[in-house]
């Protein structure tokens, strides 16, 4: 292996170590309590070294947020083969909620916390990760409208309604708000039943 290739591999390995350490600390202690110094200590490097790879803590967390979207995208990808767009919408909602329940910290980072997108606003950049998810949702909603499974209306607004509804359920789940107010007998089937009712409501919007 040449010197250039070896240096590139070492850089990639250290970048990975920084991100892994940051994710561990974030999930253990939260965003506010995680510092560049703590990340450096976790991998036995100086804070100065961390700054060579990432401008600041927000840059690290934006990278983690991007990886989390890739993880969610990987779970969503197989749903492209579901022929019926309404069934696909339901499946997308289920995968989205399962991801949130299984990865509450990452879900916070992706959809609730300000930090990952704050740096984008400062640079006037688009939220590409979120937009990618939204475009898939819009395409599914539009297909359902074309097949007359949903009443034709503004695709973007309808898609926002679907996303915000499922996001609301996810936010309540990851913040442990649902089970404090919902009857215990409904806990095990809460997500499935909620999605079924919401999908049936959408189906009522047929032309």
What is d(CA 68, CA 86) in angstroms, rounded to the nearest whole number?
A: 26
Mean pLDDT, range 187-193, rounded to an integer: 84
CATH of the domain at 173: 1.10.357.10
Query: Band of the pLDDT at 124, cuts 50, 70, 90?
Result: low
155-181 as b/e: b if 16+ CB within 10 A = beebbbebbebbbebbbbbbeeebeee
> Is the domain of 69 the same as that of 1?
no
> Is the domain of 15 the same as that of 105?
no
Residues 8, 132, 80, 87, Cα dihedral to 10°: 140
168-188 per-position pLDDT tens digit: 999 988 887 777 788 878 877
> Is the domain of 19 the same as that of 105?
no
pLDDT of residue 15: 94
> Is the domain of 183 the same as that of 146?
yes
CA distances from 29 to 24, 34, 42, 118 (A): 9, 7, 13, 21
pLDDT of residue 120: 63
> Is the domain of 113 the same as that of 151?
yes
* Domain, as residue range, for 49: 1-54
> Is the domain of 24 the same as that of 68?
no
pLDDT of residue 175: 83
147-170 per-position pLDDT tens digit: 999 988 999 999 999 999 999 999
55-74 per-position pLDDT tens digit: 999 889 989 999 999 999 99
Q: Pick the closest to residue 22 from 11, 9, 38 (CA basis).
A: 38
> Is the domain of 100 the same as that of 128?
yes
Query: Band of the pLDDT at 86, cuts 50, 70, 90?
Result: very high
> Is the domain of 98 the same as that of 45?
no
Q: pTM for the full model?
A: 0.86
> Is the domain of 37 the same as that of 100?
no
Whether the pLDDT of residue 11 is over 70: the answer is: yes
Give the residue with greater pLDDT, 3 vs 111: 111
pLDDT of residue 8: 80
pLDDT of residue 34: 92
Q: Pick the closest to residue 20 from 50, 46, 108 (CA basis).
A: 50
Total domains in the chain come to 2
Q: Which two tokens stand for residue 206?
A: 């047929």
> Is the domain of 50 the same as that of 93?
no
- Report whether 107 contacts 64 (CB < 8 A): no
> Is the domain of 42 the same as that of 77?
no
CATH of the domain at 9: 1.10.10.60
What is d(CA 195, CA 166) in angstroms, rounded to the nearest whole number?
A: 8
Whether the pLDDT of residue 27 is over 70: the answer is: yes
- Report whether 76 contacts 95 (CB < 8 A): yes
pLDDT of residue 122: 62
> Is the domain of 119 the same as that of 189?
yes
pLDDT of residue 207: 66
């Amino acid at each position: 292996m040449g010197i250039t290739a070896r240096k590139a591999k070492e850089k990639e390995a250290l970048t990975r170590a920084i991100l892994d350490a940051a994710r561990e600390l974030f999930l253990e202690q939260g965003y506010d309590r995680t510092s560049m110094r703590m990340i450096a200590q976790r991998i036995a490097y100086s804070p100065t070294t961390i700054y060579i790879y990432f401008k600041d803590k927000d840059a690290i967390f934006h990278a983690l947020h991007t990886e989390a979207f890739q993880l969610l995208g990987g779970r969503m990808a197989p749903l492209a083969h579901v022929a019926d767009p309404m069934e696909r919408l339901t499946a997308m909602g289920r995968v989205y909620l399962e991801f949130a329940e299984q990865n509450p910290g990452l879900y916070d980072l992706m959809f609730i916390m300000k930090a990952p997108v704050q740096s984008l606003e400062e640079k006037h950049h688009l939220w590409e990760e979120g937009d990618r998810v939204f475009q898939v949702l819009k395409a599914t909603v539009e297909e359902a409208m074309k097949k007359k499974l949903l009443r034709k209306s503004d695709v973007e607004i309808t898609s926002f309604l679907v996303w915000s509804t499922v996001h609301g359920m996810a936010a309540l789940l990851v913040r442990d708000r649902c089970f404090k107010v919902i009857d215990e007998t409904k806990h095990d089937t809460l997500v499935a039943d909620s999605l079924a009712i919401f999908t049936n409501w959408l189906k009522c919007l047929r032309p």
